[in-house]
């Protein structure tokens, strides 16, 4: 009964996808709501997922030569005002501190929504010569954006993220950096999150406030909605001019450097839930799963079972994140609990298995259940985890391919979405912002990015019929 009840407690994703998502984040103990509207407690299981994301990404950043720093969380209003487009872009979401204790501050402080201005102030102080460049920095912090509508992980008023900030002698170096870090994000999502992404450039109207160009990776969730999984921005020398950052080049002339920034957030956890989850709960990619394999003793009251399970755990723990559940809950309850929590592998061991020098390995993805010799279990666990990752990626890619539609007219977009449901719509565009707005107004799908991988679906703009300049990926988004 316990197993049946556990699975029934999650709303079916086809009945109510939003409620299914809420059920999972609560029942898998990823978050808890708080008395501060729009802010969440990330519980140990949820935070362990973030720690694994952080650990892998931080390693990738260090391989590419980046160093971690930490900026203040407060930004003086005068500093934020220095870059006009930037401040206008963030003004609606800024939280302000007006008092320190009982005293009103002489100048109000913004709780950082992002840290470009702080990095610029710092760069102006430390960069004098071409020998000081480049600076390749990153920080892991929280930021605050006063969102009107919030949802755990996807959009909260305070969230965790990393923000990379780099500064270079030339535009070419900065553009190379911007593209390189977008590729790092794409590689991370596809290799470690088993989540296929589309790489592309944002339209002018959708780029980051203060940037010359914004690049993004877009993922498609199970329900056909898009999710921006990461962004990388090229700033040119706009911020450097606003903050009077100059350096002496090799000819001893004072010139402005060129900057980038790039970031991903805890919304990646939401992306993983909505890309891979099912009606039984979470499905976690092995590389970020807090527990990669859970050992369930069967008939644990019988002599030697707990001892053998403990021995098995100690052996596997040298290479994998393993948990032994020797609680007095029934095996059926445990099976449902760890399936709901998305643990990639379940290992069962009981008296008969011990007699045969084996255990039973069950995969969360694919449903395979096989007997494995205890002499080979260490190798088999590694093979099965890689098999799971590959299966997850394949399934997510098939979902994206099945929900990607090529359309030549706005009527075709409307008819296709009405018949088949949400997804990525690939359609041509003339480059006019008015057409971009009109497509969203009439069809309900907005521009997600201009994919690097271009195809010529038609010669005409999907909206106005004038000559098209590029193919755009359109979609409804979280």
Phi, psi dihedral angles at 298 (to 5 degrees): -110, 135
Phi, psi dihedral angles at 340 (to 5 degrees): -65, -35
Give the whole-angstrom CA distance, residue 122 versus residue 1: 61
Collapsed DSSP state (helix, strand, coil) of residue 330: coil
Residue in 89, 193, 175, 206 with CA at minimum distance from that of residue 473: 206
80-104 residues labelled b (16+ CB within 10 A) or e (exposed): bbbbeebbebbeeebeeeeeeeeee
The residue written with tokens 């004098």 in the block is 128
E strand or H helix at 248? strand 247-248
Alpha helices in 317-448 (DSSP H): 331-340, 351-355, 377-402, 410-420, 433-443
Give the whole-angstrom CA distance, residue 390 versus residue 358: 26
User: Between the CA of residue 163 and those of 65, 118, 264, what are the distances in Å?
Assistant: 15, 12, 7
Give the whole-angstrom CA distance, residue 152 versus residue 267: 8
Give the whole-angstrom CA distance, residue 343 versus residue 381: 13
Which segments in the chain show pLDDT lower than 50?
A: 1-7
Predicted confidence at residue 2, as pLDDT, reads: 39
* The two structure tokens encoding residue 126: 């430390």
Pair type for strands 345-349 and 293-297: parallel
Give the whole-angstrom CA distance, residue 424 versus residue 399: 11
Predicted confidence at residue 8, as pLDDT, reads: 56
Predicted confidence at residue 75, as pLDDT, reads: 95
Give the whole-angstrom CA distance, residue 389 versus residue 395: 10
Predicted confidence at residue 444, as pLDDT, reads: 96
Phi-psi region of 182 (alpha: psi -120 to 50; beta: other; left: phi over 0): alpha
Predicted confidence at residue 137, as pLDDT, reads: 98
Domains located in the chain, CATH noted: 12-276 (3.30.930.10), 293-385 (3.40.50.800), 404-475 (3.30.110.30)
Asked if 120 contacts 279 with a C-beta cutoff of 8 angstroms, the reply is no
The residue written with tokens 């069950």 in the block is 362
Give the whole-angstrom CA distance, residue 350 versus residue 36: 47
pTM for the model: 0.95
* The two structure tokens encoding residue 461: 């703009």
Q: What count of residues does the chain have?
A: 478
Reduce the secondary structure of 391-407 to three states and give it as a string: HHHHHHHHHHHHCEEEC
Predicted confidence at residue 4, as pLDDT, reads: 44
Per residue in 201-241, pLDDT (tens digit) is 999 999 998 899 999 999 999 999 999 999 999 999 999 99
Other Cβ atoms within 10 Å of 321 Cβ, number: 17
Residue in 242, 239, 217, 240 with CA at minimum distance from that of residue 228: 217
Asked if 136 contacts 166 with a C-beta cutoff of 8 angstroms, the reply is yes
* The two structure tokens encoding residue 380: 């088999």
Q: Which residues contact 359 (CB under 8 A, 6 or more apart)?
A: 312, 347, 348, 349, 353, 371, 372, 374, 377
Give the whole-angstrom CA distance, residue 469 versus residue 448: 16
Per residue in 111-158, pLDDT (tens digit) is 999 999 999 999 999 999 999 999 999 999 999 999 888 999 999 999
Residue in 116, 395, 143 with CA at minimum distance from that of residue 266: 143
Predicted confidence at residue 367, as pLDDT, reads: 87
Asked if 275 contacts 36 with a C-beta cutoff of 8 angstroms, the reply is no
Predicted confidence at residue 325, as pLDDT, reads: 96
Give the whole-angstrom CA distance, residue 211 versus residue 228: 17
The burial of 315, by beta-carbon neighbours within 10 Å (0-12 exposed, 13-18 middle, 19 or more buried), is given as: middle
Strand residue runs (E) in 102-212: 103-111, 135-144, 158-168, 198-201
Give the whole-angstrom CA distance, residue 202 versus residue 217: 10
E strand or H helix at 188? helix 171-192
Give the whole-angstrom CA distance, residue 81 versus residue 172: 28
Torsion of CA 23, 27, 32, 38, to 10 degrees: -10
Predicted confidence at residue 153, as pLDDT, reads: 96
């Amino acid at each position: 009964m316990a197993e049946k009840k556990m699975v029934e407690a999650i709303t079916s994703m086809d009945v109510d996808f939003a409620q299914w998502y809420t059920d999972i984040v609560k029942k898998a103990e990823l978050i808890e709501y708080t008395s501060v509207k729009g802010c969440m407690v990330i519980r140990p299981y949820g935070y362990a997922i973030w720690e694994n994301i952080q650990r892998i990404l931080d390693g990738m950043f260090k391989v590419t030569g980046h160093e971690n720093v930490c900026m203040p969380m407060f930004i003086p209003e005068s500093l934020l005002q220095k870059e006009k487009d930037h401040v206008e872009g963030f003004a609606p979401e800024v939280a302000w501190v007006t008092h320190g204790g009982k005293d009103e501050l002489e100048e109000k402080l913004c709780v950082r929504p992002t840290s470009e201005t702080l990095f610029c102030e710092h760069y102006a102080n430390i960069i004098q010569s071409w020998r000081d460049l480049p600076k390749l920095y990153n920080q892991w912090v929280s930021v605050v954006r006063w969102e009107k509508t919030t949802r755990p992980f996807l959009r909260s008023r305070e969230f965790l993220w990393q923000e990379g900030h780099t500064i270079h002698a030339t535009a070419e170096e900065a553009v190379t950096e911007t593209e390189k870090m977008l590729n790092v994000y794409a590689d991370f999502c596809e290799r470690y999150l088993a989540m296929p992404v589309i790489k592309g450039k944002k339209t002018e109207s959708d780029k980051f406030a203060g940037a010359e160009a914004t690049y993004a990776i877009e993922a498609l969730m199970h329900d056909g909605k898009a999710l921006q999984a990461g962004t990388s921005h090229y700033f040119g020398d706009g911020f450097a001019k606003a903050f009077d950052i100059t350096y002496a080049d090799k000819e001893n002339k004072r010139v402005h450097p060129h900057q980038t920034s790039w970031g991903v957030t805890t919304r990646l956890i939401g992306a993983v839930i909505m890309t891979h989850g099912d009606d039984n709960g979470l499905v976690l990619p092995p590389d970020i799963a807090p527990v990669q394999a859970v050992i369930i003793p069967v008939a644990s009251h019988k002599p030697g079972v707990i001892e053998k399970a403990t021995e098995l755990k100690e052996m596997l723990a040298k290479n994998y994140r393993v948990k032994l559940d020797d609680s007095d809950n029934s095996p059926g309850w445990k099976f449902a609990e760890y399936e709901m929590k998305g643990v990639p592998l379940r290992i069962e061991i009981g008296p008969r298995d011990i007699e045969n020098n084996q255990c039973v390995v069950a995969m969360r993805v694919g449903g395979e259940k096989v007997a494995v010799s205890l002499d080979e279990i260490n190798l088999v666990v590694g093979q099965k985890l890689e098999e799971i990752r590959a299966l997850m990626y394949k399934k997510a890619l098939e979902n994206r391919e099945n929900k990607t539609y090529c359309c030549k007219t706005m009527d075709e977009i409307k008819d296709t979405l009405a018949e088949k449901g949400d997804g990525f719509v690939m359609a041509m565009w003339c480059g006019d912002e008015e057409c971009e707005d009109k497509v969203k107004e009439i069809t309900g799908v907005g521009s997600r990015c201009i994919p690097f991988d271009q195809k010529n679906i038609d010669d005409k703009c999907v909206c106005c019929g004038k000559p098209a300049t590029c193919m755009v990926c359109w979609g409804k988004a979280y």
